Amino acid sequence: MGLAVDAPRITLQDAGTGELREIRYADVPDPDASDSPTRQATTLTVEDGFAQSVVPATEVDPTAPEGGDVSTMRLPVTAEVTPAEPVDADVVDPSREISIQVGRPAFTDVELAEDILSTEGFTLGIRADDRGRQSTLSLAAPVEATDTGRVMMEQYLLKYTSLPVIFPEEAIGSGARWSIDTRVTGESTLLQTVTYTVTAIRGNQIDLDVSVSQRPSLGALDISPGTAGVTEDTPEQLTVLNSNTASSGSITVDLTRPLPTTGTVFWTTRVVYGGGPEDMRVVQDSTTAVSFDG
């Protein structure tokens, strides 16, 4: 399956201090250099959870909780980078073709163990430029994968790709801060802003603090009869009253490697919906965490 990626909006808020330099990935192997990077082996852990409740308006807390109930996918992966050939469908001009192959996965829901294990060998392809801007994604399941396993693996890998580490065009230094605005899909489509702050630069090693903010792309929610807590008097469409995200995280990027080498980023977004004559609110919490250990 191939997916085009919407072009992100990158806004430099502070260029930082000290020696300023343009930060670019240098992970495409040089065939003439003996010390050129080849493959990166690491462990990618993705946590994902969604909860919805219907509560009285007077009992709603609009502040997102710091975490929630999640299912965890642990993926040993091997990443390899090759030069990218341009194609007409590219949104940006890619210079890198990143291939991420999944080893033997593990999942917290034992009832899905066989389905998840059937996806060993799943491959995620990312076409990107040397700043980290993604152009297209490709998802390829092994022939042995079950439909359930394939859908689950796609869901969790797309959580990872929704957190791209993109550097600004301008030269930056220590303390630099910039934001990346994108659109992400899941249980609902959200507009997402990721803010990166440089805490240290050591050659090719970049330490980043990360914060995430999300809000619904649509101002209303369509209600189906099967929604938990919904009564006959509930309107068919509710409007967004509030959205809030709690997040924290930090990662380390090695510019000679396609994936962050260490770190964790988590975020929980709470959206509160209301409308109609009822004094009730629909509260949705979406929780995600992405960790790198390599």
pLDDT digits (tens, 9 = 90+) for 12-67: 999 999 999 999 999 998 776 666 567 999 999 999 999 999 999 999 999 999 98
Could you tell me what percent of the chain has a pLDDT over 90?
77
pLDDT of 185: 76
Question: In this structure, are residues 47 and 72 in contact, taking their beta carbons and an 8 Å threshold?
Answer: yes
Tokens of 157: 């890998």
Name the one residue in this structure whose structure tokens are 């490709």: 138
pLDDT of 225: 56
In this predicted model, what pLDDT tens digit does every residue of 102-151 receive, in sequence order? 999 999 999 999 999 999 999 999 999 999 999 999 999 999 999 999 99
Number of alpha helices (DSSP H) and beta strands (DSSP E) in the chain: 2, 17
User: How many C-beta atoms lie closer than 10 Å to residue 36's C-beta?
Assistant: 13
Enclosing H/E stretch for 149: helix 147-161
pLDDT of 85: 82
pTM (2 d.p.): 0.91
Q: Give the Å distances, CA to CA, from 80 to 22, 29, 34, 193, 255.
A: 24, 9, 16, 28, 14
Question: In this structure, are residues 73 and 104 in contact, taking their beta carbons and an 8 Å threshold?
Answer: no
Question: In terms of DSSP bridges, do strands 39-56 and 280-293 run parallel, antiparallel, or are they unpaired?
Answer: antiparallel
Domain extents in the chain = 2-293
Averaged pLDDT for residues 165-169 = 98
CATH number corresponding to 2-293: 2.30.230
pLDDT of 169: 97
Among 117-131, 173-187, 195-209, 270-284, name the one with the lowest average pLDDT: 270-284
Please give the DSSP secondary-structure letter assigned to residue 63: S
Enclosing H/E stretch for 151: helix 147-161
* 6 CA to centre of own chain: 14
Length of the chain, in residues? 294
Handedness of CA 113, 294, 245, 124 (dihedral sign): negative
Residue 279 — very low, low, confident or very high, per pLDDT cuts 50/70/90? Answer: confident
How far is residue 116's CA from residue 119's CA, in Å, rounded to a whole number?
6
Averaged pLDDT for residues 81-96 = 78
* 225 CA to centre of own chain: 31
Residues in a beta bridge with 267: 247, 288
